[in-house]
Amino acid sequence: MTSESQNIEFKVSWRDEYLKWICGFANANGGKLYIGSDDKGKVIGVDNHKKLLEDLPNKFRDILGVYAEVNLQEEMDNYYLEIIVPRYDVPIFCKR
């Protein structure tokens, strides 16, 4: 995996406060958020990946009004999520 940058962020687990990252990516040039990876990009896995796969797209739509791709990835028997946020041409606001 690559390292963190302006449009790539790694998180060990999902927290709703990361909606701000989704909002920021949508307002900038888009970006990717990886859930289940440490700050260096090492995959450590996320246990609740099935629930997150269902919940996150709805949360992004309902709270932010954006559509982001949520993909399940696997590395050495550890599952993690790749969230791909496109750039939006209209301002996106985090309602939380």
Give me the residue spans of the domains in the chain.
8-85
- Taking the C-alpha atoms of residue 44 and residue 28, their distance in angstroms, rounded to an integer, is 28
* Average confidence (pLDDT) over 13-21: 95
pLDDT at residue number 49: 94
- Taking the C-alpha atoms of residue 48 and residue 89, their distance in angstroms, rounded to an integer, is 32
Q: In this predicted model, what pLDDT tens digit does every residue of 81-95 receive, in sequence order?
A: 999 999 999 999 987
Beta bridge partners of 35: 11, 81
- Taking the C-alpha atoms of residue 84 and residue 35, their distance in angstroms, rounded to an integer, is 11
CATH 3.30.950.30 holds for 8-85: yes
* Average confidence (pLDDT) over 41-70: 95
pLDDT at residue number 1: 66
pTM comes to 0.93
The band of 96, judged by pLDDT with boundaries at 50, 70 and 90, is: low
pLDDT at residue number 4: 78
* Average confidence (pLDDT) over 2-18: 90
